[in-house]
Structure 1
Amino acid sequence: MPANRAVIYRGPGHVEVEDVDYPTFELKDGPGVNPDNVGRQLPHGAILKVVATNICGSDQHMVRGRTTAPEGLALGHEITGEVVETGRDVEYIKTGDLVSVPFNIACGRCRNCKEGKTGICLNVNPDRPGSAYGYVDMGGWVGGQAEYAMVPYADWNLLRFPDRDQAMAKIVDLAMLSDIFPTGFHGAVTAGVEPGSTVYIAGAGPVGLAAATSAFLLGAAVVIVADLNTERLEQARSFGCETIDVSKGEPADQIEQLLGIPVVDCAVDAVGFEARGHGDNAQEERPATVLNTVMGVTRAGGKVGIPGLYVTGDPGAADEAAKHGSLSLEFGLGWAKSLAFTTGQCPVMRYNRQLMMAILHDRVNIAKNVNATVLPLAEAPQGYSDFDRGAAHKYVLDPHGMIQR
């Protein structure tokens, strides 16, 4: 049995790469594992040799200590890998297949899965609908920032790449299919982006840049990306976005300078609960700022996509209400403008095959647009540190040295 190493959360601001157990077809007890999931048998699973596994902004929330994640949690929900073993009930996925793993863990059997709502599967997390690998309050499924990882319900969850050589030539782009590309695309789709749209995207991190890429893929005429980080705004401009530095004033005023009117057709919140203020308040944490802004700058009758993460428990929040997920929303404004909102995990399987085809046939360069940067697994702690400081990179970990650089 091969050795295995994984990225482990060791408290706020601290991750380590440590030796861990090789995965098996049983969910064992460990940090964050729901007691009702302990001992769960997984004959429908597959064990992967991890080819690429990414650091996500959602991971960063945990590492900053902004969730109730337990120490010892193995991190990572963005996984691309090679199948090295399958459980006895796996029928279609085969050893040697190169696959993408949706970050949502879904059974394929419950009502929500059958309706395509794989982000809120009813059977994988005893706490509440929806689950993910290596994430707090998500059932305790072991994270995939590791050399080897186990994926349950393999026939249902795994997206097989049709040609191994073609896939390996584009593996850094394809690594974005596990989360941020479908998540950004979901934000743009649910915001109603269509040919000729003007789009406001709050946040120039990897998900915001993926949403901007998706907006162009859907035919948007103007994509405006807003952030405080000048390096990330420069990255957005590198593929045709207009940009707004929210530290320099209200977004509506800057939108008017770009478009002649202070509103856009649709908006995407790719920031989430660690939002900061605008203008003179740009260095203060104000978790409702982005939600209130997107309501203000979206035209009456428009739509808002909210792939940015919001949580029910934030021990590091700026005020008591926000610690319990309660924010000071100007909801009356959204109601008065008849806005439509879509929130929650992206149902990755709704989009990942189509986006895979766009990558394989050179219709999109997602790795370039998000500035994907490959690191060996041993350098994961440095990647987390640099990402926390606002580096304009999407860090891709290469546990086995399989990615050509």
Structure 2
Amino acid sequence: MPANRAVVYEGPGKVEVHTIDYPTYELKDGPGVNKLNVGRKVPHGAILKTVATNICGSDQHMVRGRTTAPQGLVLGHEITGEVVDVGPGVEFIKPGDVCSVPFNIACGRCRNCKEGKTGICLNVNPDRPGSAYGYVDMGGWVGGQAEYVLVPYADWNLLKFPDRDQAIEKALDLAMLADIFPTGYHGCVSAGVTSGSTVYIAGAGPVGLAAATSAWLLGAAVVIVGDLNEERLAQARSFGCETINVAQGDPVEQIAGILGSDWSAIGEPLVDSAVDAVGFEARGHGADSDVEQPATVLNSLMQLTRAGGAIGIPGLYVTGDPGGVDEAAKVGSLSLRLGLGWAKSHSFVTGQCPVMKYNRNLMMAILHDKVQIAKNVNAVAIGLDEAPQGYQDFDQGAAKKYVLDPHGMVPRRAA
């Protein structure tokens, strides 16, 4: 049985690479594992050799100590892999298949799964609906920033790529299907982006850049991306986005300068759609840009979205934040101008992206060269041992999407 090395959370600001158990078809006790899941049999599972596994901003929240994640948790929910073994209950997935793994763990049997709401499966996490690999309060399924990983309900969860050689050739792009590309796309679909839309995306991290890419794919006329980080804003401009630096002032006024005469009768820019790709660690705007204000993005989006518009919220918000700015924020309670959103008849969509709703079509867009998602998010492949440095650089604002390559299978993208 091969060794299995993995990236492990060792406390705020610290990750290390350790040898962990090779996957089996039974859940074992360990850091973050729900006790009701210990001993759970997984005959419907498959064991994958990891081809690519990405560092996500959601992982970074845990590594910063901004969640209740326990020390020793194996990280990683963005997984692409090659099947090396299947359980006795697997019928269609075969060893040798190269597949994308949706970050949502879903059974395919419950009411929510049957309705396509795979982000809130009822059967995989005893604590609450919804689960993911290597994530706090998600049932304790072992993370995929490892050489090998177990995927339950393999026939249901795995998206098999049609051609193995093509999949390896495009691995850097296809690696984005596990989370950020569908998540950004979901944010735009939730916000009603369509042909001719004007769109504002808060946040130029990987999810925000994936959302901007998705907005173009959906036919937007104008895509504006806001952030505090000039390097990330330059990345957004590299594929045609307008940008604003929210440290330089109110985003409403800056967006008005971009949209020109496209104003409403009450003096607000008519952005049709807005996407929150920041989440609960948001900072203020202008003079307050160095101060954490967790409701800032949501409140600004209600202000700058036209009456009757929609707001997609793929940015992460949590129910437990030990580092929250006040007692309310520590339990996920924010001071929202909900009255403004109500008065403008805004619609809001929150929660995990149901990856399976989008990943097959987005796969086809990648395979047929209709989109260059790896280039747009500046995806960079690094070795597993480079993960601690990757986490550190990402935390410091590097305009890159780090893709861990445990077995040296990912072709490097030309600069």
Q: Return the TM-score normalized by structure 1.
A: 1.00
1:344 offset after TM fit, Å? 0.1
Contact 2:172–2:411, Cα closer than 8 Å, also in 1: no
Kept in 1, the 8 Å contact 2:80–2:100? The answer is: yes
User: Structure 2 residue aligned with 1:369, among 365, 376, 381?
Assistant: 376
1:85–1:95 CA contact under 8 A, matched in 2: yes
1:31 and 2:31 equivalent? Answer: yes
1:92 alignment partner in structure 2: 92
Inter-partner Cα distance in structure 1 for 2:308 and 2:320: 32
1:370 alignment partner AA: V
Is contact 1:103–1:179 with CA below 8 Å preserved after alignment? yes
1:384 equivalent in alignment to 2:391: yes
| Structure 2 Cα separation of the partners of residues 288 and 263 of structure 1 | 21
Which SS does the other structure have where 2:243 is aligned?
strand
Q: For 1:297 and 1:404, how far apart are their aligned partners in 2?
A: 41
Q: Are 2:86 and 2:95, in contact at CA under 8 Å, matched by a contact in 1? A: yes
Query: What residue is the counterpart of 1:320 in the other structure?
Result: 327
- Where in structure 2 are the equivalents of 1:197-346 lying within 5 Å? 197-260=197-260, 261=263, 262-346=269-353
Matched AA of 2:207: V
RMSD: 0.4
Shift of 1:403: 1.3
1:321 counterpart letter in structure 2: A
CA distance in 2, matches of 1:169, 1:86: 25
Alpha-carbon deviations, 1:8-47, whole Å to 9, x = none? 0000000000010000000100000000000000000000
Matches within 5 A, 1:107-122: 107-122=107-122
1:169 is displaced (CA, Å) by 1.1
Partner of 1:155: 155
Where 1:27 maps in the other structure, the secondary structure is coil
| Aligned partner of residue 76 in structure 1, secondary structure | coil
Residue pair 1:185, 1:211 contacting (<8 A) in 2 also: yes
Instruction: Specify the code of the residue in structure 1 equivalent to 2:282.
Output: A
Give the aligned length. Answer: 405
Whole-Å separation in 1 of the counterparts to 2:192 and 2:364: 22
1:125·1:139 contact (CA, 8 Å) conserved in 2?
yes
CA deviation after TM superposition for structure 1 residue 263, in Å = 3.1
Report Cα offsets for 1:35-80 as digits up to 9, x if no partner. 0000000000000000000000000000000000000000000000
Is contact 1:50–1:80 with CA below 8 Å preserved after alignment? yes
Would the aligned equivalents of 1:255 and 1:263 in 2 still touch at CA under 8 Å? Answer: no
In the alignment, structure 1 residue 67 sits paired with structure 2 residue 74: no
Q: In structure 1, how many angstroms separate the alpha carbons of the residues matched to 2:410 and 2:158?
A: 20
> Could you tell me which residue of structure 2 aligns to residue 164 of structure 1?
164
Looking at structure 1, the residues matched to 33 and 288 of structure 2 have their Cα atoms a distance apart, in angstroms, of 39
Aligned to 1:398: 405
| Structure 1 residue ranges without an equivalent (≥5) | none
How far apart, CA to CA, are the structure 2 residues paired with 1:37 and 1:298?
A: 43
1:174 aligns with 2:174: yes
Q: 1:176 deviation in Å?
A: 0.2
Residue type of the partner of 1:49?
Answer: K
The residue correspondences of 1:135-146 to structure 2 (distance < 5 A) are: 135-146=135-146
Instruction: Look up the SS of the partner of 1:293 in the other structure.
Output: helix
CA drift at 1:178: 0.1
Contact 2:2–2:22, Cα closer than 8 Å, also in 1:
yes
- Partner of 2:131, secondary structure, is coil
Q: Return the alpha-carbon distance in structure 2 between the equivalents of residues 208 and 164 of structure 1.
A: 29
**SS of equivalent residue, structure 2 residue 184:** helix
Mapped partners of 1:184, 1:159: distance in 2: 18
Verify: 1:50 aligned to 2:47, yes or no. no
Note if contact 1:161-1:167 (Cα within 8 Å) is conserved in structure 2. Answer: yes
SS of the equivalent of 2:146 reads coil
- How much has 1:252 moved relative to structure 2? 0.6
Contact 1:201 1:208 in 2 (8 A): yes
**What letter corresponds to residue 304 of structure 1 in structure 2?**
I
Which residue does 2:266 correspond to in 1?
Answer: none
Query: Structure 1: how far apart are the matches of 2:411 and 2:396?
Result: 27
Question: How far apart are 1:350 and its partner, in Å?
Answer: 0.1
Unaligned runs of 5+ in 2: 264-268
Quote how far apart the aligned CAs of 1:404 are: 2.0
Which SS does the other structure have where 2:323 is aligned? coil
Within 2, Cα distance between the matches of 1:265 and 1:12? 39
Question: What letter corresponds to residue 235 of structure 1 in structure 2?
Answer: Q
The one-letter code matched in structure 2 to 1:294 is: L
Q: Percent identity of the aligned residues?
A: 79
Q: Read off the aligned partner of 1:300 and give its amino acid letter.
A: A
SS in 1 for 2:284: coil
Partner deviation per Cα, 1:292-339 (whole Å, 9 max, x = no partner): 011110000000000000000000011110001000000000000000
Q: Secondary structure of the residue that 1:62 maps to in structure 2?
A: helix
